[in-house]
Amino acid sequence: MSEIKWDEKFRDFLKRYYWDDILLLANEYPEMRSIVVDFPDLEQFDSDLAHELLEHPDDVIPYAEQALREIDIPIEKDLDDAHVQFINIPNRIGIRDLRSKHLLKFISIEGMIRKATEVRPKVTNAAFMCMRCENTSYEPQDGPKFVEPNECENESCGKKGPFKLLIDQSTFVDAQKLQVQESPENLKGGSQPQSLDVDAEDDLAGIVKPGDRLVINGILRSHQRTLREGKSTFYDLVLHANSLEYVDQEFDELDITPEDEETILDMSKDPNIYNNIIGSIAPSIYGYEDIKEALSLQLFSAVPKMLPDGSRVRGDIHILLVGDPGIAKSQLLRYMVKISPRGVFASGKSASSSGLTAAAVKDDLGDGRWTLEAGALVMADMGLASVDEMDKMSKEDKSALHEAMEQQTISVAKAGILATLKSRCALLGAANPKYGRFDKYEGLAEQINMPPALISRFDLIFILLDVPDRTKDSNIANHILKSHYAGELSEQRQKLPTSTVSEEDVESHMEVILPTIDNDLMRKYVAYARRKVFPIMEDEAREHIINYYLDLRRQGEGKDAPVPVTARQLEALVRLAEASARIRLSNVVTLDDAKRTTRISMACMRQVGVD
Q: Which is nearer to Mg ion, 217 or 386 (CB)?
A: 386
286 part of the interface to ligand ADP, by CB under 6 A: yes
Q: Which does 256 bind (CB under 5 to 8 A by kind): ligand ADP, Mg ion, none?
A: none
Sites for Mg ion among residues 319-348 (CB under 5 A): 330
What would the 3-class secondary structure string for 386-452 be? Answer: EEECHHHCCHHHHHHHHHHHHCCEEEEEECCEEEEEECCCEEEEEECCCCCCCCCCCCHHHHHCCCH
Name the one range near ligand ADP by CB under 6 A: 250-258, 280-288, 451-459, 595-603.
280-288
Nearer to Mg ion (CB atom), residue 195 or residue 330: 330
- Residue 32 to residue 153: CA distance in whole angstroms: 37
Q: Which does 286 bind (CB under 5 to 8 A by kind): Mg ion, ligand ADP, none?
A: ligand ADP
Q: What are phi and psi of 195, to 5 degrees?
A: -135, 165
Q: Which does 376 bind (CB under 5 to 8 A by kind): Mg ion, ligand ADP, none?
A: none
**In whole angstroms, what separates CA 388 from the centre of its chain?**
18
Distance, in Å, from the CA atom of 580 to the CA atom of 479, rounded to the nearest integer, reads 29
Q: Is 328 in the site for ligand ADP (CB under 6 A)?
A: yes
The letter for the amino acid at 386 is S
CB 241 within 8 A of CB 216: yes
Separation between Cα atoms, residue 257 and residue 602, nearest integer Å: 39
Question: Which member of 11, 177, 213, 329 binds ligand ADP (CB under 6 A)?
Answer: 329
487 is a site residue for ligand ADP (CB under 6 A): no
331 lies in the binding site for ligand ADP (CB under 6 A)? yes
Q: Least distance in Å: CB of 392 to ligand ADP?
A: 13
User: Among 445, 425, 423, which Cα is nearest to 434's?
Assistant: 445
Rounded Cα distance between 146 and 169, Å, is 16
For CA atoms 47, 52, 53, 59, the dihedral sign is negative
190 sits near ligand ADP (criterion: CB under 6 A) = no
327: partner contacted, choices Mg ion, ligand ADP, none (Cβ within 5-8 A by kind): ligand ADP
Using CB under 6 A as the binding rule, the residues of this chain from 307 to 326 that contact ligand ADP are 325-326
Cα–chain center distance at 135: 52
10 Å CB burial of residue 31 (0-12, 13-18, 19+) is exposed
- The answer to whether residues 597 and 576 touch, using CB atoms and an 8 Å cutoff, is yes
| Per rule CB under 5 A, count of chain residues that contact Mg ion | 1
Query: Is 586 in contact with 533 (CB distance < 8 Å)?
Result: yes
**What residue number has its CB nearest to Mg ion?**
330
Please work out the total of residues on this chain that contact ligand ADP, with binding judged by CB under 6 A.
Answer: 13
**Burial classification of residue 104, based on how many CB atoms lie within 10 Å of its CB (0-12 exposed, 13-18 middle, 19 or more buried):** middle
Of 299 and 321, the one with the shorter C-beta distance to ligand ADP is 321
What's the rounded Cα separation, in Å, for the pair 107 and 278?
42
302's contact among Mg ion, ligand ADP, none, with CB below 5 to 8 A by partner kind, is none
User: Can you tell me which of 85, 301, 330, 350 binds ligand ADP, judged by CB under 6 A?
Assistant: 330
The least CB distance from residue 286 to ligand ADP, in Å, is 4
Which of 60, 327, 359, 486: binder of ligand ADP (CB under 6 A)? 327
Member of 476, 501, 602, 608 binding ligand ADP (CB under 6 A)? 476
How near is the Cβ of 502 to ligand ADP at its closest, in Å?
25
Q: Which is nearer to Mg ion, 322 or 517 (CB)?
A: 322
Q: Considering beta carbons, is residue 295 or 327 the nearer one to ligand ADP?
A: 327
Between 330 and 357, CB nearer to ligand ADP = 330
Q: 104 touches which of Mg ion, ligand ADP, none (CB within 5 to 8 A by kind)? A: none
> CA angle, 422 as apex, 299 and 521 as ends, to 5°?
25
Length of the chain: 611
Interface with ligand ADP, residue 206, by CB under 6 A = no
Q: How far is the CB of 436 from Mg ion (least distance, A)?
A: 12
- In sequence order, the 6+-apart residues with CB closer than 8 A to the CB of 227 are none
Which of the choices ligand ADP, Mg ion, none does residue 322 contact, using the CB cut-off of 5 to 8 A by kind? none
When the beta carbons of 330 and 456 are compared against ligand ADP, the nearer one is 330
Q: Which residues bind Mg ion (CB under 5 A)?
A: 330
Q: Which residues bind ligand ADP (CB under 6 A)?
A: 285-287, 325-331, 476, 479-480
